[in-house]
C-alpha cells in the first residue's frame, strides 16, 4: 500500500489519518479561527478570518504534502477550500475524492480512511 491520507476537516479542526504499510496514525490540527455569528462586522475582521484560515490550511497541507493519495471529507465548506489550496499547491493529481460527511470521532475517521484505501 502506498502512503494514503484521509483528512476530515471543518473550519475548527482537521483530523488527519495516515495509512501506510508500516503504520496507521491520526493527528489533529486546530484552526484557532472563530467565525462571528451573523457575518462579519467589517472588512478587517473578514480579512483576519481569511488570513487565519490560510495559515490553518497551510499547516494541514504541510502535514499531508508527501501523501500519494488524499481523501478529503467533512461537513461544510472547508473541504472544498482545502481542495482548492491543494490544487494551487500542485497536488491536484493526488486527490482521490472529496466527500460530504457529518461529524465523526477520530476512530470513525481512521476506520473510514482504512476502508476506503483497502478497496
Tens-digit pLDDT string for the chain (119 aa):
578 999 999 999 999 999 877 778 999 999 988 765 455 567 777 777 788 899 999 999 999 999 999 999 999 999 999 999 999 999 999 999 999 999 999 999 999 999 999 87
Determine the Cα–Cα distance for residues 32 and 55; give it in Å rounded to an integer: 10
| CB of 12 closer than 8 Å to CB of 33 | yes
4-118, which class in CATH? alpha beta
Determine the Cα–Cα distance for residues 20 and 4; give it in Å rounded to an integer: 6
Which residues fall within 8 angstroms of residue 91, CB to CB, at 6 or more apart?
61, 65, 70
The phi, psi pair for 72, rounded to 5°, reads -115, 130
Amino acid at each position: 500500500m502506498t502512503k494514503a491520507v484521509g483528512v476530515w476537516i471543518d473550519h475548527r479542526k482537521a483530523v488527519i489519518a495516515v495509512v501506510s504499510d508500516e503504520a496507521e496514525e491520526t493527528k489533529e490540527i486546530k484552526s484557532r479561527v472563530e467565525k462571528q455569528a451573523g457575518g462579519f462586522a467589517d472588512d478587517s475582521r473578514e480579512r483576519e478570518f481569511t488570513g487565519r484560515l490560510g495559515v490553518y490550511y497551510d499547516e494541514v497541507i504541510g502535514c499531508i504534502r508527501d501523501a500519494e493519495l488524499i481523501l478529503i471529507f467533512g461537513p461544510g465548506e472547508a473541504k472544498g477550500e482545502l481542495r482548492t489550496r491543494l490544487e494551487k499547491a500542485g497536488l491536484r493529481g493526488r486527490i482521490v475524492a472529496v466527500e460530504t460527511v457529518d461529524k465523526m470521532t477520530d476512530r470513525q475517521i481512521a476506520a473510514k480512511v482504512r476502508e476506503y484505501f483497502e478497496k
